[in-house]
Chains A and B, each alone.
Chain A
Amino acid sequence: MDDDKEKQTVIEAEIPMGTVHPAALEPYRVRLFVEDEIVRDAEITVGVNHRGVERIMEGLPVEKANSLTEKICGICSNSHIWNSCLVAEKALDIEVPERAQYIRIIMEEMERLHSHFLYLAHGNEVLGHETFAMRLFYIRETVMDLLGMIGGNRVQYGAPILGGVRPRCELDDKRIQKLKDGMDLMEERLAAFADRFVSDPMVMSRITDVGVISQKDALRLACTGPTLRATGVESDLRTEMKEYDPFEFDVITQDGGDVKAQLLTRVFENLESIKIIRQAIRDLPDGPITNRSWEMKDTPLTKSYIEVPRGTLYHSYALEDGRVRHCVIRTPSMANIGAMQHACIGHHITDAQLSIVQCDPCFTCTDRAIQIIKI
C-alpha cells in the first residue's frame, strides 16, 4: 500500500492568469491550483480596476452624482443611474409620472437584452464557437441602435433623471414604430439562433455538465440574478418591484446549474424582456415625463435594491445640503465571485475560463471597495 502511494506522482501546480489575459478581457487575477490538470482550488482577486467612484461621489450635488453612477459600468449604465435616482426619489418623496416609469422600464429591459446578448456572445467566444459569437453581436446591434436612437448614445444612454426621464428620451410615434419593428426583428433572429444553438450537438456536448453549481451551493454562496435562477431557484426582485406591477412576465429558471443552464436562462430571459417591452409600448400612458415640483431637504441614509441584468444592485446614500453623503454601492458580480471560484473546482483546467465566464462577471462594476491594509 505504501509503495503504491510513493509511485503516484501527483503534480500540484499553481496557474496564474491575469491581470491582463487573452481570455479574461477585463483585468482581474485568477489563481488556479491544479492537480494533474484538474482544478482543486481557485482564487479570484479583484481590485485592479479600482477608481474610487464612491469617494468621488462623496460631496457632489445629487444630480451630478447620479450621472456619475452611469460611469461605473458601461454595460449596465442605465441600471446604476436608475437605482441612484430611486434612492433620492424615495428619500425626497418625489412622485414619478407614469409615462416616465414606462420609459424607464423600456430602457432597463433593452439594457437587459444587450447585456444578455453580450454575455451569450462572450460565452460562445470562450467555448470556441466564433460564428455564434458573431451572430449574437449581429443580433445585438439592433438593440444598440434602438438605445442610440432613444438615448442619443449607444453606450452611456442613461435615461432617468430625478423625477422622471430626460426630455431627449421621450417616445414619439416614429420611435415607437421603430421599437416595435426592432423587437419583431430581434425575436425572430433570437428564436432562430436558439433553435440552432440547442440543436448543435458539438456545442451542447461542450457545455453540458461543465462548471456545475448545485442549488445548495448557489444559495450558500449567496448568488444573485440569472446565476441563481439557472440552478432552479425562483428568485427575481422584479416580482417585488412596484415599477414592474403592470407587466406580466415569467421568472425563468433552469435546472442543473451548468453552463448550458446558464446560457439558456439568458436566452429565455431575453424573450421575456421582449415581452415586457411590447407590453410597455402597448400600454404607454400619456402625460408628462418629468416631475419638477419637488424640494431638496436633508435626508437620512436611504437604500434601494433593484434587479439588474446580473442580479441585485444596491445603492444607498444620505443627502445633506443637496449633496451626497456616505454613498455605498454593491453590485451583483460581487456576490457571484464565490460562485465563479466554486464552479472551477473539480473540472478540467480548460473549462476554468468558461466556468468563470458563465457567471457573467463584470469586474469594472465590482471594483469599488476600498482596500483595507492590515497594520
Chain B
Amino acid sequence: MSLKSYSRGRAVHVMLVYTGGCNGCDIEIVNCILSPKFDAEQYKVFLTWNPREADVLVVTGPVTKHNEGPLREIYKAIPEPKAVVAAGACALMGGVYKNCHGDIPSEEIAGPVDKIIPVDARVPGCAVRPQDIVAGLVSALPLILDAE
C-alpha cells in the first residue's frame, strides 16, 4: 500500500447530490453517516459538500433535466481518483417517475444516472437502507485506494 492510498483511506470524503428524488434516500444517507447508530464517521468516512474535497460521489434521484448540467459539473470538479455510487431505485433506473410514462419519453427526467456520468457502484432500494449504503461505499473504495 502506497503512502497516498494509506492517507486516502484515513479520510474518505463522500459528497451527496440530490437530483430530484423524494428526499427519502438522501436523509437515509445523511443518517447513515451522521447518526450515532450507523455512524460511518467512525470508519473515517466524512460527509462533505465541496466537490473539490470529495472522493466518492453519491447520487440520488432520477436526475431531472434541470439537474443534469450541475451533476456533470460536479462530477468534473471532483479530483481523480474518484468513484460514483448511485443510490436508490430512481438513480438506478429512473424509478416511478421515469417508467410510469411507458414508451413515451419523460419530459422531466434526463436520468437514470448512468446515462449522464459513469457509475461504479449501485445501491438498490426504495428508499435505500443505511446498511446497504455502507456496503455500497465499501465496494467503491478499492477504486480510490488502489489507484495509481
Task: Give B70's nearest chain A residue, CB to CB.
Answer: A20
Interface residues on B, range: 35 or more
CB-contact partner of A26 in B23, B31, B49, under 8 A: B23
Minimum Cβ distance to chain A for residue B15 (Å): 10
> A49, B64: Cβ atoms under 8 Å?
yes
Task: Mark B32-74 against chain A: 1 for CB-CB distance below 8 A, else 0.
Answer: 0011110000000000011000000000001010110010001
Q: What's the Cα separation between A12 and B66 when bound, in Å?
A: 29
Minimum Cβ distance to chain B for residue A286 (Å): 33
Q: What's the Cα separation between A260 and B27 when bound, in Å?
A: 24
| Total contacting residues, chain A, CB less than 8 A | 40
Task: Mark B8-38 against chain A: 1 for CB-CB distance below 8 A, else 0.
Answer: 0000000001111111111110110011110
With A20-B70, A71-B96, A74-B127 known as contacts, the answer to whether A155 contacts B27 (CB < 8 A) is yes
> B21, A68: Cβ atoms under 8 Å?
no
> B35, A140: Cβ atoms under 8 Å?
yes
A53 within 8 A of B: yes
A36 within 8 A of B: no
> A53: which B residues are within 8 A, CB to CB?
97
> A154, B36: Cβ atoms under 8 Å?
no
Chain-B contact segment, one of A131-139, A270-278, A315-323, A349-357? A131-139
B129 within 8 A of A: yes
A107 within 8 A of B: no
Task: Mark A322-358 against chain B: 1 for CB-CB distance below 8 A, else 0.
Answer: 0000000000000000000000000000000000000
> A126: which B residues are within 8 A, CB to CB?
none
Q: What's the Cα separation between A156 and B74 when bound, in Å?
A: 29
> B66, A154: Cβ atoms under 8 Å?
no
CB-contact partner of A77 in B17, B24, B28, under 8 A: B24
> A154, B28: Cβ atoms under 8 Å?
yes
> A75, B23: Cβ atoms under 8 Å?
yes
Q: What's the Cα separation between A280 and B129 when bound, in Å?
A: 29
Segment 104-141 of A: residues with Cβ below 8 Å from B:
118, 133-135, 137-138, 140-141
> A27, B20: Cβ atoms under 8 Å?
yes
B95 within 8 A of A: yes
- Could you pull out 27 A-B pairs where Cβ atoms are within 8 angstroms? A19-B67, A20-B17, A20-B18, A20-B67, A20-B74, A22-B50, A23-B49, A25-B26, A27-B18, A27-B19, A47-B66, A49-B67, A51-B62, A51-B64, A56-B101, A60-B100, A71-B97, A73-B22, A73-B23, A74-B27, A134-B34, A140-B31, A155-B24, A155-B25, A155-B27, A156-B126, A364-B22
Question: Chain A interface (Cβ within 8 Å of chain B)?
Answer: 19-23, 25-27, 47-53, 56, 60, 68, 71-75, 77, 118, 133-135, 137-138, 140-141, 144, 153-156, 362, 364, 367
Which 10 pairs from chain A and chain B are nearest by CB? A74-B24, A22-B49, A155-B127, A137-B35, A74-B23, A155-B24, A74-B22, A56-B100, A48-B66, A51-B97
